[in-house]
Amino acid sequence: MNLYSKEKIFDTSLSISQIADELGFQYPQHFTRMFKNHVGMTPAEYRSMN
């Protein structure tokens, strides 16, 4: 995952689905799966941790 996607997670005005769409993912599940594979937690977990 690039730094941009990690930074976008903290923009709470956007949903995870909106972030996935902005990053070019056709389905939010694909973004969540890729994020979890690279970071070790889901975008929602990452957002709540920080």
SS3 content of the chain, % helix, strand, coil (to 5): 65, 0, 35
Q: How far is CA 31 from the centre of its chain?
A: 6
Looking at the domain that runs over 3-49, which CATH code has it been given?
1.10.10.60
For 1-50, how does the pLDDT look when each residue is reduced to its tens digit (9 = 90+)?
Answer: 678 788 889 989 999 999 999 999 999 999 999 999 999 999 999 999 87
pLDDT at 1: 64
Contact present, 38 and 30 (Cβ < 8 Å): no
Instruction: Report the alpha-carbon distance of residue 43 to residue 6 in Å, rounded.
Output: 8
* Verdict on whether the full-model pTM lies above 0.85: no
